[in-house]
Amino acid sequence: MLAAIVASFAPVPAWTDDATLIDAVELIRRNRDTEAVAILQRLAERGDSRAQYLLGLAYLEGKLVPRDLVLGYAWLQVAAAGYNGSSKRGAADEAQSAMLEVGPTLSGAALIQAEQKAAALIKAREDQLASDTQRATEALKSPETSAGRVLSGCALEPTLSGCRSLAGAAKKIERCTGDIVSPDVAPSTQGPTASIGRPEYPRKAHLRIEDGQAMVLTHVDRSGYVCRVTLVQGSGAEDIDDAALKAVRRWRLTPGMRNGEPVEAIHTFTVRFSIEGMDFN
């Protein structure tokens, strides 16, 4: 099954040293299995459901790595279940189908072990996401002392290319005071006041048929303009991460609401890049 999936991938137009899913597939074609599995492992741990699915198949088949039915089934479970921060565009359906095929061949004890391993993998990922989110939050609140990359948005730099005019009521609102609260209703890309520019798909990523998602944290003011933005978790491709940050800093959102009033809030958005199209939430 894994060989057929590998054969279905389009050839890489030009070889680079970037460690992506396409690179892993190319390494498998070249019989450089150890390097390929290392890339799949890294991407799977980062939350790429396609890598999780392929890694699960690799362990189930035992050709690229020593066969481990429990670990293979566990990675299929992770790919099928998804979790906060994992890739929503991927191989969840394929992983579910593989589980239905493989599950009846495993003993009850093996299925329990696999479920425990899957739960541990998901918890480790969610713990890392919580830590990364806390780090990014501190970076937004204290950009001067942060080691991370923090970009100012339209609320702080209204003359930034691509920013809409801060006219009308929005102009009268005191901007980016730092009085950040937990809203009852989170900032949103939907609504009549929202103005969301689509990120520019980096040419290099497009040529490499490269997918990726960047999770960014935004400080949004009471009129919905972005004060600052920083990266929570990257895609693994710097140009995709840059494109996401540069797009989000120019967004105007529907502001967060508390007790029916707009408030300053911090909120996470995930920007996904794919040959099939881009989306964000």
Q: What is the CATH number of the domain that holds 212?
A: 3.30.2420.10
In a domain, 141, yes or no: no
In a domain, 26, yes or no: yes
Domain limit, last residue, from 131, 159, 192: 131
In a domain, 138, yes or no: no
Please check whether residues 167 and 256 belong to one and the same domain.
yes
In a domain, 190, yes or no: yes
pLDDT digits (tens, 9 = 90+) for 221-263: 999 999 999 999 887 778 888 888 999 999 999 999 999 999 9
Please check whether residues 8 and 115 belong to one and the same domain.
yes
Domain limit, last residue, from 131, 166, 189: 131
Please check whether residues 35 and 114 belong to one and the same domain.
yes
Please check whether residues 163 and 49 belong to one and the same domain.
no
- Number of domains the chain contains: 2
In a domain, 127, yes or no: yes
Cα–Cα dist 222/260, whole Å: 12
Q: Tell me the pLDDT of the chain averaged across its residues.
A: 82
pLDDT digits (tens, 9 = 90+) for 37-75: 998 998 888 888 888 999 999 999 998 999 999 999 999
Q: At 16, is the pLDDT very low, low, confident or very high (cuts 50, 70, 90)?
A: very low
Cα–Cα dist 4/208, whole Å: 20
Could you list the residue range(s) of the whole structural domain that residue 70 is in?
2-131
In a domain, 238, yes or no: yes
In a domain, 32, yes or no: yes
Mean pLDDT of 154-167: 79
Mean pLDDT of 190-198: 85
pLDDT beyond 70 at 18: no
Per-residue pLDDT at 14: 34
Q: Which residue has the higher pLDDT, 76 or 164?
A: 76
Per-residue pLDDT at 4: 60
pLDDT digits (tens, 9 = 90+) for 100-123: 999 999 999 999 999 999 999 999
pLDDT beyond 70 at 139: yes
Q: At 281, is the pLDDT very low, low, confident or very high (cuts 50, 70, 90)?
A: low
Per-residue pLDDT at 146: 64
In a domain, 140, yes or no: no
Domain limit, last residue, from 74, 99, 131: 131
